[in-house]
């Protein structure tokens, strides 16, 4: 038996996920859900019926993207949703506008926390 016969080519594991609904987490933190239609040796993915699921606190919304191509180097995590792509019951679905507003508020809170921490660090230094 030749060594090449035992080692699957890169990306071969994705063959089993074709035509399945997958959750894809990207390097920038976004989470996409869609049906895997195609891929290549670089793990570039083609997702059909893709949506971006946005979660802020206990709120979530899904932004429809349609047919979506994901560059493989941006994929952090890829997983089967097991047929249950409904989010946990603790999350409440809201509109895209509401979730974007919640995102802005969350970013503003993070900015304030960083500013406060920087001030505290500065005062501790003196």
Q: What is the pLDDT tens value at each position of the chain, 126 positions in all?
A: 565 566 655 556 788 889 999 999 999 999 999 999 999 989 899 999 999 999 998 999 999 999 999 999 999 999 988 766 677 778 899 999 999 999 999 999 988 888 888 777 776 665
Structure pTM?
Answer: 0.75
Nearby residues of 98 by Cβ (< 8 Å), 6 or more positions away: 59, 61
Q: Could you list the residue range(s) of the whole structural domain that residue 50 is in?
A: 3-93
**Cβ atoms 96, 63 nearer than 8 A:** yes
**Cβ atoms 60, 89 nearer than 8 A:** no
User: Total domain count for the chain?
Assistant: 1
For residue 65, what is the domain's CATH number?
2.30.30.100
Task: Identify whether 115 is part of a domain.
Answer: no
Task: Identify whether 40 is part of a domain.
Answer: yes
Neighbours of 11 (CB within 10 A): 14
């Amino acid at each position: 038996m030749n060594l090449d016969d035992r080692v699957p080519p890169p990306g071969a594991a994705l063959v089993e996920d074709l035509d399945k609904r997958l959750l894809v987490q990207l390097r920038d933190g976004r989470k996409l859900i869609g049906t895997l239609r195609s891929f290549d040796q670089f793990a570039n993915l083609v997702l059909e019926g893709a949506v971006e699921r946005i979660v802020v606190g206990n709120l979530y919304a899904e932004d429809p993207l349609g047919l979506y191509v994901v560059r493989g180097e941006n994929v952090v995590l890829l997983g089967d949703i097991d047929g249950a792509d409904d989010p946990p019951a603790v999350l409440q679905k809201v509109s895209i506008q509401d979730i974007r507003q919640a995102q802005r508020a969350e970013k503003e809170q993070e900015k304030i926390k960083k500013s406060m921490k920087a001030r505290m660090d500065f005062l501790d230094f003196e």
